[in-house]
Chain A
Amino acid sequence: MCGISGVTGTGNIVQILYESIRSLEYRGYDSCGLGVVHNGEVAVRKNVGGVEEVNQREHLTSMKGNAGIAHTRWATHGKVTQVNAHPHVSMDGRFSVVHNGIINNYQDIRQELLQQGVQFVSETDTEVMAHLVALAYAEFGDVEDAFLAAVKRLEGSYAFCMVTAADPEAIYCVRNGSPLVLGLSKGRNFVASDVNAFLPHTREALFMDDGEYAVVRPAGVALRRIADRTEVRRKPLHIEWDAETSRKGGYAHYMLKEIFEQPQTLLNALNVPRAEIEKYAQLVQDARQTYLMGVGTTHYVALTGQYFFSQLAGRLLPTVSADEFEDLAVVGPGDLLISISQSGETYDTRRAVAFAKAHGARTASIVNVMGSSLSMMTDDVILQGSGPEICVVSTKAALAQMVILLRIALELGRRAGRIDTATYKAYYADLEALPSVVQDALNERSGAVRNLADRVVQYRNWLVLGRGIYYPISLEAALKMKEVTYLHVEGMPAGFLKHGTLALVDETMLSLFLLPPVEEKVLHEQSLSALEEVLARGGPVLGFVFENDARAKALISDRIELPVVPRTVAPFLQLIMAQLFAYFSALKLGRSIDKPRNLAKSVTVG
């Protein structure tokens, strides 16, 4: 997802333009840039990094101009480089564009332009637009004609903003499939991906529709249809909502938004280049000892990974929580530490990585935020590409990290000869089918999850129980519950019950069982026997069970039924349902879901 904006006015608008992409940063921030018209010339500054960071390097705010455009983006994958950052300019430097979306036919246009002698600087689809307009302008001598001629060549979904030396006070913009809204005020007008960009300056917004373009000038805005250039008369809307509502994109809370984003997160985790996965497998293969490390949720991610490595690759990797790392880990040259962090800024994790480095170990990381401390200090980085995660409680980022660890474990297993090609392919087929399964499950089960949560949140003490890989999933499910509901919820290995935990069970202690698929015969049998132990003591139980699990359904009346999925991906589905359950429980209890009490998104202090 990218954010684009444009400002035109009398006087220098650069500071306002800069603030506008600061406000769009939540849409993504791995590179950004400004294109400004000043004294009849177009100037562009751009680079890789967050908006503030790029400003420090490129001095964006010391630019000058009356009209300008800006861009900030979050690349899910692929190269983020200075030349690929927006804005892009035409060969003559007189037209500069920013873009949100995808041009489907850009390769065809690029080939055609190459034959006409156009030289491309970047690998982006965006750059063709700058050249198309410049060439059309040479032909027609009118910017609006040229802009429209270029737009008509494009196929895909896009929003563009353009400034040009040929019409120094104007911003030309077009919407076709990607959002674009005009902001109206006296003597200064705006265009942006969403209203956050200009809310501090005006609340009068004119939302563009697909197939419309606008010419924005300080004195006013002309909105027209692409097809016949007829004027569109639409009353501006006075924006009553705040920036926060807008960023949540139709969800009541970031947590729910991020839970619902997981089909996309899964796709992005699967799109992490195979070469990076292979490299990590190679590192583990070469290392004397490999540690998996995270803290909080990412510790449970690492524990889940531990099962993957053990079961798929026959390697039991020590998994140590970052806060205990120094006291427990025995690291030295030849060892590898794979650290996991959403923010890449977690104090405990950074400290443990520094400790490992000081002892001569090699370090690698899986992080979500590009340019974060962890991504800089480790020898290797995998960027998980999950997009910004704003809710303090991690959901989608954790899921992506688990999938990436699974992929590394699979690769290692294949190399070790423990996974044959057919199994390897079957795993990938299951993973690739997972996003749509998750999408449907979220759509079809939300009501049932909410109803169940509404019924049971009066319990103050909970156990979440699972065996095998469902044990770390239980730990993570319990942590989600703790964080957002403030209830006392503990994850426990189901096999532990009769070794002590069972003493806690009475009618006030609710046990939530995460049951494995029926095909996992032994694990399933063991889980059911634990369930019966609780039932025999009169303990109330809840279950997340797969639809075809007749035995569990007969035992548990308060349950969420999950669609049957291959055992390979079943833990992920259990995790997602647990996240949703925690969300609706917290909603029922009226908790501060996105910012639970006492918690912060990234714990950067010790």
Chain B
Amino acid sequence: MADIDKLSRRPAEYLAETGVPLLAGGLVFLLLGCSILIQRILPRSFVAQEAPKWTAICCCVAALWLAKLIKQRAVFPRGGYVEPQPHRKTRILVWFAVFAVVISVPVAGLGRLPFLESRFLWPAFAMAAAILGLVTGWRQGTPSMMWFGLYLICLAPLLWWLPVDNYERWAWAQIALGVPITIGGAIRLKRFLKAHPLPLESPRG
């Protein structure tokens, strides 16, 4: 008998296999991180400080649009089109993340909370993400996720050691996350395109 649970997870797994979500996510991290570093290099005038931020946001939107374009032009004609049904747990997680961001932005802006100034904040974040990656990788049996967890473990002391303030440390953390995620996504996409050549005739159904 067919494994119904396994089959119902296939639409989401299929999109993950294409590498496009990873590619888009990694690019967003990279762009946001780079914008902070550029902000630091530029003079402290209003325009010079605001321009990189808004350029990065526009670039992030462009990266997401590019991901959509790759899916429509390269992925769907090869492997087929599917729109996965979001799981209840995923929806709850997404809403929780949005809520956390909405709450944390004014809190971070208004009150200078001591933990936000702490040198351990981003290394601790990297360690937490590493543990999450290792546990998920172990449970799902995905070596790439476990390697990513190990990478984050190595990244944590490096972030702690960096002789910069926390804002810049955050930028480096985003770049350090964005680079492997983008490369991973690009490799997956390349593998997918190689494994799924364009069908010679269109399936009519």
B partners with A:
no
> Chain A: residues with CB nearer than 8 A to chain B?
none
